[in-house]
């Protein structure tokens, strides 16, 4: 297909324009597209983290979901979208839905296929302490009628159990 503009070079940019409900298709070569100020190359972030943040930011625009808070470390989904860093291991449970979608995009899947790990026996006490702390926070949240964080806490307790 030849460029609609110069009719000389091959069209490589295919642009769909919608002007006042009328749809027009424009096929341009790279040179004419550049002359018209149409960006033909998307700047490729050079580092994995850059690409990753790019993907994070491309995900759902700011929404109510951004207020979801990890009950353990207080990080919000919005914090995560800004920094690209999770606050603690429990964040993986608190933001599971958003993370699952993100992992599919940046990692190509969500299921670990590497080494399995069984923590040393002593970890039980560590986990029990965490569980105990979470349970008392859950009780308090119920008393305070903070049902959203109570639900998050309940999920985390289930995950740990």
Q: Which residues pair with 155 in a beta bridge?
A: none
Give backbone dihedrals phi and psi of 87, rounded to 5 degrees, phi first.
-85, -30
Rule CB under 8 A: say whether 72 interacts with other proteins: yes
CB of residue 57 vs other proteins: minimum separation in angstroms? 14
Please tell me whether residue 113 adopts helix, strand or coil conformation: coil
CB of residue 83 vs other proteins: minimum separation in angstroms? 8
Q: Which residues pair with 25 in a beta bridge?
A: 16
Contact at 8 Å (CB) between 160 and 130? Answer: yes
Q: Which of 1, 43, 61, 109 binds other proteins (CB under 8 A)?
A: 109
Contacts of 62 (CB under 8 A, 6+ apart): 78, 81
* Interface mask toward other proteins for 19-58; x: CB under 8 A: ---------------------------xxxx--x------
Positions in the binding site for other proteins (CB under 8 A)? 46-49, 52, 72-73, 75, 84-89, 92, 99, 102-103, 106-115, 117, 119-120, 122-123, 126-127, 129-130
């Amino acid at each position: 297909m030849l460029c609609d503009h110069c009719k000389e070079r091959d069209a490589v940019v295919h642009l769909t324009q919608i002007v006042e409900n009328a749809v027009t298709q424009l096929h341009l070569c790279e040179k004419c597209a550049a002359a018209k100020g149409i960006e033909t190359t998307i700047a490729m972030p050079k580092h994995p983290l850059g690409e990753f943040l790019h993907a994070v930011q491309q995900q759902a625009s700011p929404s109510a979901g951004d207020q979801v808070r990890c009950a353990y470390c207080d990080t919000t989904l919005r914090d995560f979208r800004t920094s690209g860093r999770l606050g603690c291991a429990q964040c993986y449970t608190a933001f599971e839905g958003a993370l699952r979608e993100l992992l599919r995009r940046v990692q190509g899947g969500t299921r670990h296929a590497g080494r399995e790990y069984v923590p040393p026996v002593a970890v039980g006490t560590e986990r029990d302490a965490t569980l105990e702390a979470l349970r008392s926070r859950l009780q308090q949240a119920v008393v305070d009628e903070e049902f959203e964080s109570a639900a998050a806490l309940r999920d985390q307790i289930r995950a740990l159990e």
